[in-house]
Every structure is written in structure tokens, then in C-alpha cells.
Amino acid sequence: MMDLEPDLLRTFVAFAETGSLVRAAAIVGRTPSAVTAQIKRLEDIVGEAVLAPAGRGRVLSETGTELLGMAREILALNRNSLLRLRGQKLAGRVTLAATQDFAESSLPRLLRLFAETSPLVRIEVRIGRTSEINAAFAANETDIALAMRGEADRHELALIEDQTHWFAADDGLAGQQKPEDVPLALLDPPCGFRTEALAALARVGRGYRIAATSQTLAGLKTAVLAGLAVTLRTKRWLGPGLAIAPPGLGLPDTAPAIFSLRLRAESGTPARQLAELLAAELPL
């Protein structure tokens, strides 16, 4: 009897989450052709097609949709069991600095899991902006840094690529439905999202005005929820009262955001194990 191999399931889940063989390949660290071969191998084991044609792309088949829930359960059990076996006698201190993009999405769940499975490890967390995180990492004040990528770095353990989207209040802008100049809510510079938002509008010659600025994402969210402006973030930022801006606003396509997960080489085993957990789980 053949087994549902974790590597095959991990690739399958990566495709299900991204809808793209190319992006799934980037997540699991393989070539697109290798990912295609893994999906074929999985289909041979299951005995049914897990993907179905849809236009020029592929989507989950009925069997694939059923398999997805099982795959997540198997991978979670495998991950949690290994964490518990490795973590019971692990002790020490780990410092982590991350942007708020992750602090308000999947990071709390993963930190809780690590804390529960490695109860003797003390975790210290710093949430800030990329410039602050980079300064802390350069000053040896943190073991792990999770922030927008700048230059390639020898400490990089993983890259996380998230598509960016324009966000607005879910009931639209408070003023015109398609204003001549797009009202923007932006973080104060330096900010990669700010840079891409302005560059994307410039590429299509679309006018804009900066309706709100803030040093924090909380301030940004206030302006967007009030219907005063739109902003550019990833889906990790999506929450109650927010929605992807409607096509009627005529906003341009934007480039993905790339985040870097860095681990200080001299950090101990607890930091490495936490960083490996984040590298495996955050891209999904």
C-alpha cells in the first residue's frame, strides 16, 4: 500500500493556497517541472486526478478538494509531533522582530504552537517597521528578523512572496465612487508599499492625492475604514470592514511584496527551530 508522503502533500497544499504551480514551486523550493511531477505522483497514489483544467490554468478537482482537508490535517499532525519531540528539553531564549503584516495574521498562531511544544524556551517579540527591524538585526539585538526584503543577505533562511492588493472600506469610499485623483492612505517613508503604490499609479498615468499618512498600520486602517482613502497591502492585512478595492476604481496592477526571513548564524538551537517553523509555515 502506498503512503501519502508529506513532501507531496506539502506541494499540493502550496498549489491549493496559491493557485499557481510556479508560486507553489517557489514555496517548496523546487522547479515547476518538479512540482508537476510531484502532483502526478500524488495522483498515482490517490488513484484520481486532484487537479482539473480551468481555462489556461488548473484548479482542484472534486477529489482534490476532499484531499486538501486531509492533507492539512496530516501535515499539522506531522509538524506538531516533531515539534513536541524536539522541544520538550529545549531551553534558552529567542528574540524575534517582525513587521505588523505577520503580527496580525499567522504569526500569533505559530508562536503559540512553538511556545506550547517548547515550554522551556523564552520568546521575546518586537513588532515594528522594516527599517527598525533591520537596525535591530544589524545591532545583534534579535535572532530572527522578518521584514520586507532589501538586498540579498547571507542570513536569509527563506523568502515569502505575497501579492499586493488595493484595499478600501467594504462599503466603499465616503466620497465619489471613482475619484479623478485616487485618495491614498500611506505609511510615512521609508515604506516598500508606499513606493510600489506611487510607482504603480505613475506607470499608468493615474493621478492621486495623499489623503492620510501614519507611522503605524493602525492609523492607516483608521483612514481606510473611514472611507477616506485606499491603500496597498497584502491579504495578510485583510480584516473586518476591509475589502479589496472594486474594479470600478480603475486601480492598476501592482507587484508582489517580498519578505525576508533572516536567522543570525550564531543563534542557538531554539532560534533555529523557531525560524525553521516560520520558514515552513508562513508562505502557506
Q: What is the pLDDT of residues 88-127, one digit of tens each?
A: 778 999 999 999 889 888 899 999 999 999 999 999 999 9
Helix axes 21-28, 6-18, angle to 10 degrees: 130
Section 173-187 average pLDDT: 83
Termini Cα distance of the chain: 29
CATH topology of domain 88-162+258-281: D-Maltodextrin-Binding Protein; domain 2 (3.40.190)
Q: How confident is the model at residue 176 (pLDDT cuts 50, 70, 90)?
A: low
Section 42-46 average pLDDT: 92
d(CA 167, CA 200): 14
Q: Does domain 164-254 have CATH number 3.40.50.300?
A: no
Print burial letters for 164-175: b (CB count within 10 Å at least 16), e (below 16): bbbbbbeeebee
Question: CATH 1.10.10.10 region(s) of the chain?
Answer: 6-84
Residues 6+ apart with CB under 8 A from 3: 45
Instruction: Please write the tens of the pLDDT for every residue from 197-251.
Output: 999 999 999 999 999 999 888 899 999 999 999 999 999 988 899 999 998 888 9
pLDDT at 28: 82
Diameter over CA atoms, the chain: 63
Residues 126, 142 contacting (CB under 8 angstroms): yes
Section 136-158 average pLDDT: 92
Section 162-170 average pLDDT: 94
Whether 177 shows a pLDDT value over 70: the answer reads no
pLDDT at 27: 82
Q: How confident is the model at residue 174 (pLDDT cuts 50, 70, 90)?
A: confident
Whether 1 shows a pLDDT value over 60: the answer reads no
pLDDT at 23: 83
**What is the percentage of the chain residues whose pLDDT exceeds 90?**
59
- Full-model pTM: 0.78
Spell out the CATH class of 6-84: mainly alpha
- 144 beta partners: 96, 263
Instruction: Please write the tens of the pLDDT for every residue from 48-89.
Output: 999 998 888 889 999 999 999 999 888 888 888 888 888 777
Question: CATH 3.40.190.10 region(s) of the chain?
Answer: 88-162+258-281, 164-254
